[in-house]
Structure 1
């Protein structure tokens, strides 16, 4: 992912606070023997620091890819909007359209978890995150509703080794252009426009200050 200096996260708190409210993304792993990459959409639990936890079905093709190369990327993007030509210029001949979006990629080293207790622990932590009300029943290796299904899944512990964070909202462009884009987003009001507008205004204010 190309990250220009003006699109980079202002600090770790910016990307951490954004990712804290997102728990669905894609896990990308190199394909085996030159095959296409394996990309798996999935929910996950990120501890906010150094570890991502999840589980997937045993037949998933990701396992062979990880056994060949344990490097994986957890990729999350959101708050995106298409910015048309006319919003970025007074003339169609000089305007260049773009995309606004926020994205975080966690480069990780994977550990496959196959023991029953290890898988139960991953399930406990995921369910505690996704169902904090506790309405998920007992999660244990030898008791509760999940014990018979543990053999059908494998767990993943992903140790975060690098973070790539990008907030692409024209923070480097002139104030007049940013204001024109702000008006366009507010008036169009498509899904994603409000979140993109909030990022654009927040980062514009920081750039101005």
Structure 2
């Protein structure tokens, strides 16, 4: 369970842009008896209108048996994250070295009921949906059971349709800090200009405290 303060809660449906545009995450499943939870990094395609995500696993993947035994799963996505050094967070009048470092991030956890898809025709349709998400311009052959080029490989995978039953989203971007500190964080991110700093800065500037 993730702690989500009101200041870090999503605005309206902004959380839906995370799984729709950041389409690589981690699928967490309860482990089989005597084993810890399984976590599988994977690509997926999220469909907001259908309220589901689709993906697939290799047939020998042990996570498949765990999903069949425990279909209640979590699909987790973390995006636009950045490290903030302590001095950036020091309030005015406070020594910079007394500032507390932190992390900024957007996190979406989709609670899902997983449906394993093994029927060849349905599996081919699911794979087409996933490939179509990543290549909307086309250029890839369609999957069809028993037909080249994907008919043979289809037998080696199992489709997963993840029916979303709940959402917990968190946008942690210095919401409890003063305006002066938030401006310092934004300036620091702009100067550092590291990976994801620009995206994190945009959230800091956009998500003004009420």
Three-state SS of the structure 2 residue aligned to 1:103 is strand
Deviations 1:67-100 (A, max 9, x none): 2211111101111111111000142453111100
* Structure 1 residue 91 corresponds to structure 2 residue 95: yes
Give me the whole-angstrom Cα distance separating, in 2, the residues matched to 1:196 and 1:138: 38
User: What stretches of structure 1 move > 6 A for 4+ residues in a row?
Assistant: none
Quote the residue 1:176 is aligned against: 180
Deviations 1:94-123 (A, max 9, x none): 311110001111000011111101110111
Quote the residue 1:185 is aligned against: 189
Quote the residue 1:19 is aligned against: 19
* Residue pair 2:18, 2:77 contacting (<8 A) in 1 also: no
- 1:104-115 matches, cutoff 5 A: 104-115=108-119
In the alignment of these two chains, the number of paired residues is 205
Give me the whole-angstrom Cα distance separating, in 1, the residues matched to 2:31 and 2:17: 32
* Residue pair 1:30, 1:38 contacting (<8 A) in 2 also: yes
- In structure 1, stretches of 5+ residues that fail to align are none
Give me the whole-angstrom Cα distance separating, in 1, the residues matched to 2:156 and 2:96: 56
TM-score (norm 1): 0.94
Deviations 1:17-65 (A, max 9, x none): 2332111111110111141111111110110241110111011111121
Give me the whole-angstrom Cα distance separating, in 2, the residues matched to 1:47 and 1:92: 45
Quote the residue 1:128 is aligned against: 132
* Residue pair 1:138, 1:144 contacting (<8 A) in 2 also: no
Quote the residue 2:164 is aligned against: 160
Quote the residue 1:61 is aligned against: 62
How far did 1:138 drift?
A: 2.6
Question: Which one is further off, 32-41 or 108-117?
Answer: 32-41
TM-score (norm 2): 0.93
